Amino acid sequence: MQLSSNIRTKNIPARAGNCHVSIKPKLAEALPYEEAQLKGIFMRFDENGDGRLSKEELRKAFKGLGSHVPGLQAVFALFCTDRNGDGTINDDELDILVKCALKFDGIRS
């Protein structure tokens, strides 16, 4: 995963095709995730039950999914998919995040 040197501001429009969010299953024998399964996994980390994922909740979710750099993954997830700029990932934005994660990890439904 590389940081792009041309990223200067959070106001750059998010494009799912440019999102580099990686999900690696903890177990080598883990079956591929489907979109609904991965979305459900992320939402289990919604600790305060507000229906949105904060950066810390995203960090914990990525850590639970086996990311080696969960904090960085959370920052990338917010940057790429927080379309309304509120600092959290809502349900619609989570759909984008899940599609992006599946695309870049080769995890197919």
Arithmetic mean of pLDDT, 63-89: 92
Q: Which long-range contacts (CB under 8 A, 24 or more apart) does 72-78 make?
A: 72/1, 73/21, 73/22, 76/1, 76/19, 76/20, 76/21, 77/19, 77/21
Residue-wise pLDDT for 16-55, tens only, equals 455 555 555 443 345 477 899 999 999 999 999 999 999 9
Domains along the chain with CATH numbers: 31-105 (1.10.238.10)
pLDDT at residue 74 greater than cutoff 60:
yes
